[in-house]
């Protein structure tokens, strides 16, 4: 049976929808900024249409990217993970964004909770391991909730803590923080959870670590990532 295209009921071309979603999620732009950029390219859509597109297709794009990257990751060893949490304000109330990052800086999992206790840490760690397997080493800060949760799971002997050893996870928050300021924060935890999951997948896809490559190789990797993006959810 032929798989039906998710774009089949839309008059706008899939190329424009992919471009709009990529611009909004990847870069610190508002919906109206994306509307203006598309208008400069001869595409007349409203910011509410762009909002609908990213809500409708963002999770699909993120799921497709995550599925492909997890299949590739199974060929490699889960050497080291980094866990960290950062607070996010939602309607003036403090929530916590937990993040799991591998040794290459790729975001593996994001989880939003109201508390920073053992229960939240346990749910976050189990969710990360269910989707990505078991790491050999888990680097965390000195938050006691990690230790308590890992004692329940039975892998407390894999935990490592220390000064500056968790910079990999802490630096992974920076792209989200820039994006958060452009969005003027969030109003619901559900919206935050949805956006951080989409943002992490797209950030992983286009993160070329340009400081590790020559200019020529960086351009090749960037072109390959963009070409793969343009084929997402294609029939």
Query: Does the residue 211 lie in any domain?
Result: no
Give the CATH number, domain containing residue 162.
3.30.420.10
Query: Does the residue 36 lie in any domain?
Result: no
Which residue has 């990257």 as its token pair? 69
Query: Does the residue 221 lie in any domain?
Result: no
Query: Does the residue 200 lie in any domain?
Result: no
Q: What are phi and psi of 100, to 5 degrees?
A: -110, 130
Q: Which two tokens stand for residue 193?
A: 């959870």
Which residue has 């003036």 as its token pair? 92
Q: Would you list the DSSP string of 59-102? A: HHHHHHHHHHHHHHHTTS---EEEEEEEEEEETTEEEEEEEEEE
192 to each of 14, 18, 81, 184, how far by Cα in Å? 26, 21, 23, 12
Task: Please tell me the predicted confidence (pLDDT) of residue 2.
Answer: 65
| Residue whose C-alpha is closest to residue 156's, from 121, 110, 114 | 121
pLDDT by residue (tens digit) across 84-105? 999 999 988 999 999 999 888 8
Helix (H, G, I), strand (E, B) or coil at 177: helix
Contact status, residue 160 vs residue 139, Cβ threshold 8 Å: yes
Query: Does the residue 145 lie in any domain?
Result: yes
pTM for the whole structure:
0.86
Helices (H) and strands (E) in the chain, counts: 9, 5
Query: Does the residue 165 lie in any domain?
Result: yes
Query: Does the residue 7 lie in any domain?
Result: no
Write out the chain's pLDDT in tens, 235 residues. Answer: 567 888 988 999 999 999 999 999 999 999 999 999 999 999 999 999 999 999 999 999 999 998 888 776 666 666 889 999 999 999 889 999 999 998 888 899 999 999 999 999 999 999 999 988 888 999 999 999 999 999 999 999 999 998 788 888 888 888 888 888 888 788 899 999 999 999 999 999 998 776 677 888 888 989 999 999 999 887 5
Element (H, E) at 7: none
What CA–CA distance (Å, rounded) separates 227 from 212?
21
Task: Give residue 145's domain range.
Answer: 80-187
Query: Does the residue 121 lie in any domain?
Result: yes
Give percent above pLDDT 70 in the chain.
94
Q: Total structural domains in the chain?
A: 1
């Amino acid at each position: 049976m032929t798989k039906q295209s998710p774009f089949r009921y839309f008059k706008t071309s899939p190329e424009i929808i992919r471009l709009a979603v990529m611009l909004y999620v990847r870069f610190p732009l508002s919906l109206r900024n994306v509307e203006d950029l598309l208008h400069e390219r001869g595409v007349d859509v409203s910011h509410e249409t762009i909002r609908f597109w990213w809500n409708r297709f963002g999770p699909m794009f993120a799921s497709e990217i995550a599925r492909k990257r997890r299949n590739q990751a199974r060929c490699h060893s889960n050497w080291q993970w980094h866990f960290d949490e950062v607070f996010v304000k939602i309607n003036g109330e403090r929530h916590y964004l937990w993040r799991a990052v591998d040794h290459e800086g790729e975001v593996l999992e994001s989880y939003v909770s109201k508390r920073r206790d053992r229960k939240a840490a346990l749910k976050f760690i189990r969710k990360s391991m269910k989707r990505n397997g078991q790491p050999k080493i888990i680097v965390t800060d000195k938050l006691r909730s990690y230790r308590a949760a890992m004692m329940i799971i039975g892998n407390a002997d894999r935990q490592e803590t220390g000064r500056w050893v968790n910079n990999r996870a802490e630096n992974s928050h920076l792209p989200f923080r820039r994006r958060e300021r452009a969005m003027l924060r969030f109003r619901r935890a559900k919206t935050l959870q949805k956006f951080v999951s989409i943002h992490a997948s797209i950030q992983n896809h286009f993160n070329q670590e340009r400081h590790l490559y020559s200019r020529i190789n960086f351009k090749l990797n960037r072109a390959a990532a963009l070409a793969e993006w343009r084929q997402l959810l294609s029939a």
